[in-house]
Homo-oligomer: A and B are copies of this chain.
Amino acid sequence: MERTKIVLDDNELPRQWYNLAADLPTPLQPPLGPDGQPVGPEQLAPVFPMNLIEQEVSTERWIDIPEEVLSLLSIWRPSPLYRARRLEQALGTPARIYYKNEGVSPPGSHKPNTAVPQAWYNKQFGIERLTTETGAGQWGSALSFACSLVGLECKVFMVRISFDQKPYRRLMMEAWGGTCFPSPSEQTKTGQAILAATPDTPGSLGIAISEAVEAAVSDSTGKTRYSLGSVLNHVLLHQTVIGLEAKKQLEKAGEKKVDVVIGCAGGGSNFAGLAFPFICDKINGAEIEIYPVEPTSCPTLTRAPFAYDHGDVAGMTPLLAMHSLGHAFVPEPIHAGGLRYHGMAPLVSAAAVEGLITPRAYPQLKCYEAAVKWARTEGFISAPETAHAIAAVIDEAEKAKQEGKEKVIVFNWSGHGLVDLAAYDAYFQGKLVDHELAQEELEKSTAVLDNLPKPSTAKTGKW
């Protein structure tokens, strides 16, 4: 029988995370404070526990995964690597397409890969409670899941309109014992002020971040911290188990060389999780094309400048050196909520500036078309975010067919879409349209960057 998937035993889980910061040709540029000076670890201490801050600033190549974290990760990891044989056949491509199935985690995406270690490190540090924000709910549910495993309280501020319209992820959080507040809420001064001024506001991710950070830093017991689901270095670090496992599995499948690596990119963490171990190979001389895929409605890597900008809309976070559409940019309300972020992880942005990765943007209709083809060949229903990666995979497979080349394509199937089926419904009913960000809107939204410090763009550029 031809193999459909390559599974690994619990004891084949990677024992270390891979830190791309150790191998970037040009060192990562530091986050800056309000004074324009680099932010030191101690300034982050009210927000994150010191053991995670150490990971955030580390330039060690390999960081050990604690034994207890491995045991918790083994609830769903190693995730299976699949060969997409039925899709290959339907396309008639000579390419061999492989994908990591990150939908096998209890909340259904790659998010718990970092939620679990973050919760564990906070617990180790003596923290009793985590706060976070969530849009459609993927991250909030992953963190609630993680907190229930290690025994932490979890408070999630969920954008009001999603809280009202998308109850399933909120119910997941509650099943895991998390508390979910519609944001703006009465829980914080920020929320109270906004509710007083605009009682009917639908909320925004920017407001929810402000509430979550305030709830963490204002706890006078000092036992509360904040947790973020993407963008930061330690978050991307935790995701690298995906790529490290994939490399073992490809070896077991008899593949000696990978030609193309693909992942969708919002804040950058699922893409980084698969891609970073392959970027390491590329830095060491391997010929690999690596594509982060974003929506044309939020073209951070493909069209926005590399700049210093805030991670949040309200400007509460340090300035990060990254590709950014401007921190006040509000993307179209596409269903792929996880890709609606104005910035991009500094590590992913740096890899793009170095020319190590080649960003692509896709309009949404092509992504749903790809996801439907996927469901009817490979069988799994994809998250709308994941659909962006699939669209690029199909393009690459068709290119391989035209070229007559037996390419090996690997991508990250970052999550299932079982609680995102309303997006498919809208697609089938013809209610979705493509959005291309207009040049003048881009210029308007990135104008805020002019008044902020500029990162150095001197790069080795040898890729």
Residues of A within 8 A of B (CB): 1-5, 7-11, 13, 67, 70-71, 74-76, 86, 104, 106, 108, 145, 148-149, 167-168, 171-172, 174-177, 372, 375-376, 378-381, 418-419, 421-422, 424-425, 428
Q: Quick check: A168 and B421 within 8 Å, CB to CB?
A: yes
> Given A106-B380, A419-B168, is A174 in contact with B1 using a C-beta cutoff of 8 Å?
no
Q: How many whole Å from A376's CB to the nearest CB in chain B?
A: 4
Q: Is the CB of B175 within 8 A of A424?
A: yes
With A106-B380, A172-B421, A175-B372 already in contact, the answer to whether A5 and B167 are too (CB < 8 A) is no
- Pairs across A and B, CB under 8 Å, 24 listed: A1-B74, A4-B71, A4-B75, A5-B10, A7-B8, A75-B378, A75-B379, A106-B375, A106-B380, A148-B376, A167-B421, A167-B422, A168-B421, A171-B424, A171-B425, A172-B381, A174-B425, A174-B428, A175-B372, A175-B381, A175-B424, A176-B375, A177-B376, A419-B419
Chain B residues within 8 Å of A376, by CB? 148, 176-177
Contact partner, A3, options B11, B67, B86, Cβ 8 Å: B11
Contacting pair B8 A418 (CB below 8 A) = no
- The quantity of this chain's copies bound in the complex is 2
CA A167 to CA B145, docked complex, whole Å: 26
Closest B residue to A417 by CB, please name it.
B175
Asked whether, in the complex, the Cβ of A86 is within 8 Å of the Cβ of B7, the reply is no
> In the assembled complex, how far is the CB of residue A104 from the closest CB belonging to chain B, in whole angstroms?
6
Q: Which residues of B contact A167 (CB under 8 A)?
A: 421-422, 425
How many Å lie between the Cα of A148 and that of B380 in the bound state?
11
In Å, the complex CA distance between A5 and B7 comes to 12
Q: Which of A1, A171, A175, A419 has the most CB of B within 10 A?
A: A175
Q: A372 — which chain B residues lie within 8 A by C-beta?
A: 175
A421 touches B9 (CB 8 A): no
Q: Is the CB of A7 within 8 A of B9?
A: yes
13 other A-B residue contacts (CB within 8 Å) besides A2-B71, A106-B379, A148-B379: A1-B70, A3-B9, A4-B10, A4-B74, A76-B379, A149-B379, A167-B421, A167-B422, A171-B421, A171-B424, A175-B421, A418-B418, A418-B419
Tell me, in angstroms, the Cα distance from A176 to B378 when the chains sit together.
10
- Say yes or no: B4 contacts A175, CB within 8 Å: no
Docked CA distance A149–B380 (Å): 11
Cβ contacts under 8 Å, A9 to chain B: 3, 7
Determine the chain B residues whose CB is within 8 A of the CB of A4 once the complex forms: 10, 71, 74-75
Q: How far is the CB of A163 from chain B (nearest CB, A)?
A: 13
| Contacting residue for A174 out of B13, B76, B145, B424, CB 8 A | B424
Cα of A286 to Cα of B4 in the assembled complex, Å: 36
Minimum C-beta distance from A204 to chain B (A) = 25
B residues near A174, Cβ cutoff 8 Å: 424-425, 428
A173 to chain B, nearest CB (A): 10
Query: In the complex the two chains form, is B10's CB within 8 Å of A379's CB?
Result: no
Q: Within 8 Å CB of A381, what residues of B?
A: 106, 172, 175
Distance in angstroms from A98 CB to nearest chain B CB is 14
User: What is the bound-complex CA distance between A422 and B149, given in angstroms?
Assistant: 23
- In whole Å, how far is A169's beta carbon from the nearest beta carbon of chain B? 9
Residue of B nearest to A75 (CB): B379
Q: Chain B residue with minimal CB distance to A71?
A: B1
What residues of chain B lie closer than 8 Å to A379, measured between beta carbons? 75-76, 106, 145, 148-149
Q: How far is the CA of A235 from the CA of B167 in the complex (A)?
A: 35
Chain B residues with Cβ below 8 Å from A106 are: 375, 379-381
Contacts of A2 in B (CB 8 A): 71
Nearest chain B CB to A152's CB is how many angstroms away? 12
| Residue in chain B with minimal CB distance to A425 | B171
Contacts of A168 in B (CB 8 A): 418-419, 421
- Chain B residue contacts of A145, Cβ below 8 A: 379
A346 to B50, CA, bound (A): 62
Bound Cα distance from A22 to B306, whole angstroms: 70
With beta carbons under 8 angstroms apart, the residue of B5, B76, B425 that contacts A74 is B5
Q: Within 8 Å CB of A7, what residues of B?
A: 7-9
Q: Which residue from B67, B380, B424, B428 sits with its C-beta under 8 Å from A1?
A: B67
